[in-house]
Chains A and B, each alone.
Chain A
Amino acid sequence: MPSLKDLKNRITSVKSTRKITKAMQMVAAAKLKRAQDAATASRPYASRMASVLANLSASAGAGGPKLLAGTGEDKTHLIVVMTAERGLAGGFNTYVVKLAKQKIGELRAEGKTVKILTVGKKGREQLSREYGDMFVAHVDLTDVKGGNYTESALGLGHALTKRFEDGEFDVATLIYSQFRNVLSQVPTAQQIIPASAPADAPKVDLKGAIYQYEPSETEILETLLPRYINTQILSAMLESAAGEQASRMTAMDNATRNAGDMIDSLSLQYNRARQAQITKELIEIISGAEAL
């Protein structure tokens, strides 16, 4: 049976924990709003880009540029694992890493060479023990201020395109957490190189007319493809950022509630102990008086 003082100390400590988790929850909620807006604002661009690419690649056929057609081989895979820079976000990072591990396992079982590029510190930490020797690069997002991921996305996009052109890999897959809504973030694997237009991109009915291209079709494709890849990376980063905040908000909300429950039960225990002590003292006094 813990003493009264012990109980009191524990209650104070849980109370201050609750204050911290509550504050973190509110910070995450405020950041979530912004991150969510940014993710939603980037969607029109990404979806229109996808439909333009779908149009173009349908008419370009198989003879398109390498970024679209691929190297013709399927030996070396690059896995880009996108996680958060910070933890305390429930299972957010773990789910992404779990999917990455599963994917890496599958590829290795097929006898492919796997290289890993990590974005965000947490994924790197969790993967480094098992797959540390497969890391080729890391992208740090700690410097990103106010949800402005454009520069990082462009940098990563350029780096990927360059590595691809240097023949470092044949296929690149991006693993990130897709933001569905506040309560659900889905870890997703998406192939980004060679680029493929999503099958559900809206097809435009040309009503029998023929597209004109200026300059030529291939030139447009060549400028479009790197941008398409950058766009996909950017929207993945934005979705991941929104998901991180949402996940942290939920996790911290749960933590706050748990702390509240704990305080309740500890207070009950404390009051009982206090009552018991008073009763004990009374009995002592009464029996002392009776003895006289």
Chain B
Amino acid sequence: MADKLHFALVSPAKELFSGEVDQVIAPGTEGEFGVLVNHAPFMTTLKNGVVRVLEGDSVKMRIFVRGGFADVTPDGLTILAEEARNLDGVKVEEVQAEMEATLLKIQALDKDDTAKGALQAHFDYLESLKAALVH
């Protein structure tokens, strides 16, 4: 379809979304941006935030991503996220519990353990996810 944007959102764990949509709004490191069909080739890094998928004028899906890249080509938009979660169906309590578990893991590690940075990033992600949910 020529008047629809092909959008795919993948995280290392799985492909969260793939299909035709009207518009996608994503949180770039230098500001939020929207992508419509026939956008010029464009690539940016992403910050933690909500990716909104628009169908017509209404938001069809909200996905919370942590970091990664957005790549716009004539074929469509691809978002490669480090972590991603569909915001509908996530509960604040679950996120809270996961945050605590992660914090415990961080504390259990040695100071210079290489895995610590990754865990910390995961924790920050959960924290901002919780913030987005509370709003």
Docked CA distance A206–B42 (Å): 11
| Interface majority SS (helix, strand, loop, mixed), chain A | helix
Chain B 29-65 against A: per-residue CB contact (8 Å), 1 yes, 0 no? Answer: 1100000000011111100000000000000000000
Checking A45, A56, A213, A215 against B12 with a beta-carbon cut-off of 8 angstroms, the contacting residue is A45
Q: Does the CB pair B40–A212 fall under 8 Å?
A: yes
- Provide the residues of chain B in CB contact with A45, threshold 8 Å: 10-12, 15, 80
Q: Does the CB pair B8–A48 fall under 8 Å?
A: yes
Chain A 245-262 against B: per-residue CB contact (8 Å), 1 yes, 0 no? Answer: 000000000000000000
Docked CA distance A149–B78 (Å): 24
Docked CA distance A111–B74 (Å): 48
- Provide the residues of chain A in CB contact with B8, threshold 8 Å: 44, 48
A interface residues with partner B (beta carbon < 8 Å): 38, 41-42, 44-46, 48-49, 52, 55-56, 150-151, 154-155, 158-159, 162, 204-207, 209-215, 219-220, 223-224, 227, 231, 234
* Segment at the interface with A among B93-101, B112-120, B126-134: B112-120
Q: Does the CB pair B29–A215 fall under 8 Å?
A: yes
Per the CB 8 Å criterion, the residue count for chain B at the interface is: 31
Q: Does the CB pair A151–B118 fall under 8 Å?
A: yes
Checking A214, A215, A231 against B42 with a beta-carbon cut-off of 8 angstroms, the contacting residue is A214
Docked CA distance A220–B119 (Å): 22
- Provide the residues of chain B in CB contact with A49, threshold 8 Å: 80
- Provide the residues of chain A in CB contact with B41, threshold 8 Å: 204, 206, 209-212
Task: Provide a sorted-by-A list of 16 A–B residue pairs whose CB atoms are within 8 angstroms.
Answer: A44-B18, A46-B12, A52-B80, A150-B12, A154-B115, A155-B118, A158-B115, A158-B117, A206-B74, A209-B41, A209-B74, A211-B42, A214-B42, A214-B43, A214-B45, A224-B69
Q: A41-B14, A209-B40, A220-B43 are in contact. Are A48 and B78 (CB under 8 A)?
A: yes
* B1 interfacial by beta-carbon distance below 8 Å: no
B:101-122 near A, CB below 8 Å: 113-115, 117-119
- Provide the residues of chain B in CB contact with A204, threshold 8 Å: 41, 73-75
- Provide the residues of chain B in CB contact with A44, threshold 8 Å: 8, 10, 14-15, 18
Nearest-CB distance from B129 to chain A (Å)?
Answer: 17
Docked CA distance A52–B70 (Å): 10
- Provide the residues of chain A in CB contact with B115, threshold 8 Å: 151, 154-155, 158
Central interface residue in A49, A56, A214, by most chain B CB within 10 Å: A214
Nearest-CB distance from B16 to chain A (Å)?
Answer: 10
* B124 interfacial by beta-carbon distance below 8 Å: no
Top 8 nearest A-B pairs by Cβ distance? A155-B115, A154-B118, A214-B44, A158-B114, A41-B14, A45-B10, A44-B15, A211-B41
